[in-house]
Structure 1
Amino acid sequence: MANGLSKKVTIVFWITMAIAVLSVLWGVIAPNHLQEVTGAIRDFITVNFGWYYLIIVTLFVLFCIFVILSPFGAIKLGNPDDEPDYSMPTWFAMLFSAGMGIGLVFWGVAEPASHFATNPPTAEPGSTLALRESIKYSYFHWGIHAWAIYALVALTLAYFKYRHGAPGLISATLYPLLGDRVYGPLGKFIDVIAVFATVIGVATTLGFGAAQINGGLTYLFNIPNEFWVQFIIIAIVTVLFMLSASTGLSKGIKYLSNANMYLALALFAFMLVVGPTLQILNVFTDTIGAYLNDVLEMSFRLEPTSDHDRVWIQDWTIFYWAWWIAWSPFVGIFIARVSRGRTIREFLMGVLLVPTLIGFLWFATFGMSAINLEMNGIAAISELPMEQALFGTLAEYPLGVITSFIGLCLIGTFFITSADSATFVLGMQSTNGSLNPSNPVKFSWGLAQSGMAAILLFTGGLTGLQNALIIAALPFSIIMLMMMFSLYKSLSEELAKLRKQKKYSNDDIS
């Protein structure tokens, strides 16, 4: 296998794989030391760079809005006569499955329940204000800001790939800033950072998925909630997603993405009907207004004079921003891969708005269904382990066993889809942008990310996953800033050239 790999992969593969293997070995040999070191680095970053994360993520949102409203928005990602490879519904399904799947199922109940009953951002636990904040901050963490991070990476990659014929590499998007240096050691260093951030981001999400599947099995069948069970879950799902990866992008991921959407839609519709429907709709409407009214304040809220409130922001907002940044190389590359033929404006509006609205509906429905149980003294969902919160909520409504089983299937298919997509993306990034990385390359990355997920769970559980994310996100956030400036520079030059040629108007550029 090594001989076959050596003919196909670049040095980025070997360097990043070596780092991943050494990290896993570190966790096996000295798990306590790994946990202590990553915890210390995470504390340093969240304390000293919280302001930085808040500013840059807001900057990404503003940049996306600027591009939508500017003449750049009419430029097509491809040739003027290129048509999209996927229908709009399939495209949205693939965006949603790759971007948020497991995380949304994991946190859809756990986050609002925690914000309401045990740890609100500012309000008294269990109060009316805490109810509003619980949903509002869930919108904030999973809404426009998250998708702007994905959109920036995806748009930059798609633009340079389909407009300028560049290889689908993170380093290639920086050519307007770095010139030929992107082909040398500096470019390889940038790609190593991107690939390793992807491995950590995917491994973290897989860890959350394994923990929640274990939580569901514990809640339903009293199976122990222990690492060895989670390890078996990771091993089984690894085999399944590697089988899916071997079928190719258009078959495996497309079918699984559509299956995810049908399962998620069925579970959502059922909960909306059997849950407190009127309360869900009222709270959804009310908190949309609260979110729009307070989004600017939330974007810059750091609470420098309150240790308690600042820790909350570090544990929630900063953690999420780091998660999305670490996850963005994978999601961005995958979205770029399936978005050829769309205009920049269509692309950005689709990526920013549609998954955001779906997420809002999800949090309002499942969050309020859980909070309703808390408010009426039926069940203390917030006191359950986070990985069991969804199942604890479903159990209190009709057909709880059936819906819990559907929930487990949904987590499993999202697990497979995310890992499947990630093996393709990692293979692409380590084979000089190949759109069809070989199965040995994809299988190698599948084993690496599963091994990383297992070792992070073994050394620190969910806290270990969070530590790794925040550490991996910091260096890639700097690359994202460079990508934003590179994209703006290239778009400005292209628009000026098109205007000079007088072949296109501002409203008809493709």
Structure 2
Amino acid sequence: MKKATPVFIVSIIVAVLFIIWGVIPASMLGNAALKPVTDAVQGFIVDKFGWFYLLTATGFLLFSIILIFTKFGRIKLGKDTDEPEYNYITWFAMLFSAGMGIGLVFWGASEPMYHFFAPPTGEGQTSEAARVAMRYSFFHWGLHPWAIYSVIALALAYFQFRKGSPGVISSILRPILGDRVDGHLGTFINFIAVFATIFGVATSLGLGAIQISGGLASVTPAITNNITTQLIVIAVVTVLFMLSAQTGLNKGIKYLSNLNVVLAISLMLFLLFAGPTNFIMDLFTTTIGSYFQNLPSMSFRLFPFDADNSWVQDWTIFYWAWWIAWAPFVGTFIARISKGRTIREFLLGVLLVPTIFGGLWFSVFGGSAIFLEYFEGIPVYSVIEESGMEVALFSVLQNYPLGMIMSGLAIFLICTFFITSADSATFVLGMQTTNGSMHPPNSIKFVWGLIQSAAAAILLWTGGLEALQTASIIAAFPFAIIMILMVLSLMKSFKSEKFTNVTKPVDLEKKD
């Protein structure tokens, strides 16, 4: 622990106090128990600042797109002579596994089905509701989240690899805050990043535990999908990812990321060809066009004249908050693996490739679910209502050939995504609490592994999925403000860059 910093000490104290608070029975604390307090804070933030999340996320997307077409896109994330450490396939695999793995598997079938029955506008269970369901699934998992990740990853990689700054959040703000980032203000900024990371990752780990438990219960009737099973899953997978975390970035995370992509693509291709192939590809093609056509209006839609605005709060605002809460974790990790790429190459890769893959994923799993319900009359949604969203994937797979085998593969995929996300998070938390060390000590990664698993377990125990969503929204609010400052700091620093022509004009007279 010799590399522990004030950020590590403060973060550990707050995290442990949160866990203790969650363990104390509600009967002893009354309204001061964890769930009532977090519900009240979340309700205030959503009611008063829902617009803030929408404008912030859309602003990050506009910033990223504009940056691609400016001269700043030529800047390397590193010295001008640096080359990328990882090839494209490994790079995409690692950023994708860390960025969205568990969430895609959890929501791939369940979210389109939910929107199909309860769309933001109009009647459910219609062809128009199906189109809207797919479009919003693309929207929630498309350009906006990856733009959020891009902002912080770009800022960290730029300042760390090109400017030689420590790989911590506070160092990004030096151009606008000066030496104050070296004092208490910097410690507070880094603590906010760690706080957001803990609960952003805890949300994802909680989703993974819920779905592993639901999957096991669906393929093995002797297992019950309840909080006890979910806590056992967290305990078992914690041991596995802690073992992986000790091997470092270039072994455990790298190999697991490649395995994740192979398993995910295999599962997706199987359902694509075992299911209604033409329907799925027609749906993908149509939804891609509809998504880009409606992207501006969806980015700013809040339904101010509707008495009940809960759909946007429960879905879009939750997602934008979740992505912001995940941003310090995913951003730090993507920055670490992106050294040597130009800003233009980086942004195009991070924005487009995962967005297209995510759209295809939702078309395959969500499209197959809607096809079963709409054309075959198979009640997939009633299973979700009865057993929870976590069983939607398994309900769909069991209606196609080799359903049990594919369900087992899906459970294994969720486990490997769980391990990769948690493993990556221990690395990132270790970096952020050791002043940006590229190789944080195993002892510190071990501590953070226990903390994030305990946080996920407490949130599940005190309120399940709803508590996980609440934690993300609360953690994201202060960090969103820090991310806005990052954009300003980046633009100020870009102005000091000196550009030279890559090629010199040919002197024709001399050549002759």
Q: Does 1:397 align with 2:400?
A: yes
Matched, 1:482 2:481: no
1:10 aligned onto 2:5: yes
Q: Deviations for 1:101-148, whole angstroms, at most 9, x for unmatched residues?
A: 00000000110010002x111121101110001110000000000100
Q: Tell me which amino acid in the other structure corresponds to 1:283.
A: L
Indicate if the aligned counterparts of 1:168 and 1:433 stay in contact, CA closer than 8 A. Answer: yes
> Which residue of 1 is the match for residue 467 of structure 2?
464
1:198-236 deviation line (CA, Å, top 9, x unaligned)? 000011100000000001011111211111111110011
Q: Compute the TM-score of the two structures, normalised by the length of structure 1.
A: 0.96
TM-score computed with the length of structure 2 as normaliser: 0.95
Distance 2:108 2:57 in 1: 22
Please report how far the alpha carbon of residue 305 of structure 1 lies from its aligned counterpart in structure 2 after TM superposition.
1.0
Q: 1:460 to 1:507 in 2, by over 3 A?
A: farther
CA distance in 2, matches of 1:444, 1:192: 16
Whether contact under 8 Å (1:171, 1:191) holds in the other structure is yes
For 1:439 and 1:151, the matched residues in 2 are separated by: 28
Hey, which bits of structure 1, 4+ residues long, moved more than 3 A?
none
Q: What amino acid is aligned across from residue 319 of structure 2 in structure 1?
A: Y
SS of the residue 1:415 aligns to: helix
Report if aligned partners of 1:238, 1:450 keep a CA contact under 8 Å in 2.
Answer: yes
CA distances 1:80-104 after superposition (whole Å, capped 9, x unpaired): 2211000000000001100000000
Q: For residue 125 of structure 1, what is the aligned residue in structure 2?
A: 124
**2:509 — aligned with what?**
none
Report 1:85-164 matches (<5 A).
85-117=85-117, 119-164=118-163
1:220 to 2:214 alignment: no
Pair 1:305 & 2:305 matched: yes
SS in 1 for 2:492: helix
User: What secondary structure is seen at the aligned counterpart in 2 of 1:269?
Assistant: helix
Q: Which amino acid aligns with 1:26?
A: W
Name the structure 2 match of 1:505. Answer: 501
Per the TM alignment, residue 41 of structure 1 is displaced from its structure 2 partner at its CA by 1.0
Provide the rounded CA distance (Å) in 1 between the counterparts of 2:275 and 2:327: 34
* Structure 1 gap segments, 5+ residues each: none
What is the aligned partner in structure 1 of residue 293 from structure 2? 293
**Which amino acid is 2:465 matched to?**
L
How far is 1:322 from its partner?
0.2
1:54-96 deviations in Å (ceiling 9; x for gaps): 1111100000011100000001111122110000000000011
Contact kept? 2:58, 2:299, Cα under 8 Å: yes
What is the letter of the counterpart of residue 296 of structure 2? Answer: L
1:26 to 12, 21, 30: 21
- Which structure 2 residues correspond to residues 353-502 of structure 1 after superposition, within 5 A? 353-375=352-374, 376-381=376-381, 383-384=383-384, 385-494=388-497, 498-499=498-499
The equivalent residue for 1:40 is 40
AA aligned to 1:266 is S
For 1:338, the equivalent position in structure 2 comes to 337
The equivalent residue for 1:172 is 171
| Secondary structure of the corresponding residue to residue 82 of structure 2 | coil
Q: Is the 8 A contact 1:68 1:348 kept in 2?
A: yes
Amino acid at match of 1:321: W
Instruction: Give the match's secondary structure for 2:173.
Output: helix
Which deviates more from structure 2 when the two are superposed, residues 447-456 or residues 7-16? Answer: 7-16
Measured after TM superposition, the shift of residue 492 of structure 1 is: 1.5
Cα drift, residue 307 of structure 1: 2.5
* Partner amino acid, structure 1, of 2:8: F
In structure 2, give the amino acid aligned to 1:76.
Answer: K
Whether the 8 Å CA contact 2:380–2:392 is kept in 1: the answer is no
Which stretches in structure 2 are left out of the alignment for 5+ residues? 505-512
Kept after mapping to 1: 8 A contact 2:380/2:396? no
Q: Which amino acid aligns with 1:133?
A: V
- The whole-number CA distance in structure 1 between the counterparts of 2:347 and 2:369 is 33
Residue 100 of structure 1 aligns to a residue whose secondary structure is helix
Question: Residues 439 and 114 from structure 1, CA distance in 2 versus in 1: closer, same or farther, beyond 3 angstroms?
Answer: same
Per-residue deviation, 1:379: 2.8
Aligned equivalents of 1:323 and 1:505: distance in 2? 41
The farther-off stretch of 287-296 and 147-156 is: 287-296
Deviation at 1:382, TM superposition (A): 5.2
Matches of 1:424 and 1:475 in 2, distance apart?
A: 23
Q: Say whether the 8 Å CA contact 1:113–1:370 is kept in structure 2.
A: yes
8 A contact 2:302–2:312 mirrored in 1: yes
Name 2:260's counterpart in structure 1.
260
Structure 2 residue identity aligned to 1:453: A
Shift of 1:507: 8.8
Code of the residue aligned with 1:357 in structure 2: it is I
- Contact 1:152–1:484 (CA under 8 A) maintained in structure 2: yes
Q: Distance in 1 between matches of 2:53 and 2:100?
A: 20
- The alpha carbon displacement at 1:30 in A equals 3.4
Report the secondary structure of 2:496's partner residue.
helix
1:30 & 1:168 partners in 2: Cα distance? 39
CA contact (8 A) 1:201 1:323 kept: yes
> Is the CA contact (8 Å cut-off) linking 1:333 and 1:425 kept in structure 2?
yes
- Secondary structure of the residue aligned to 2:322 is helix
Residues 382-428 of structure 1: CA distance to partner in whole angstroms, max 9, x if unpaired?
Answer: 54110111001101110000000000010000000000000000000
Q: Decide whether the 8 Å contact of 1:102 with 1:205 is kept in 2.
A: yes
Alignment check: 8 A CA contact 1:382 1:389 kept: no
Match of 2:283 in 1: 283
- Partners of 1:286 and 1:275 lie apart in 2 by 18
Structure 1 equivalent of residue 200 of structure 2: 201
Distance in 2, Cα, partners of 1:95 & 1:195: 19
Q: Deviations over 1:405-460 (max 9, x none)?
A: 00001000000000000000000000011000111100000000000000000000
Superimposed CA distance per residue, residues 442-490 of structure 1 (whole angstroms, 9 cap, x where no aligned partner): 0000000000000000000000000100000000000000001001110
Contact 2:215 2:390 in 1 (8 A): yes
The CA distance in 1 between the partners of 2:25 and 2:503, in whole Å, is: 60
Alpha-carbon contact 1:20-1:448 (below 8 Å) kept? yes
Q: Percent identity?
A: 60
Letter in 2 for 1:302: L
| Equivalent position of 1:231 in the other structure | 231
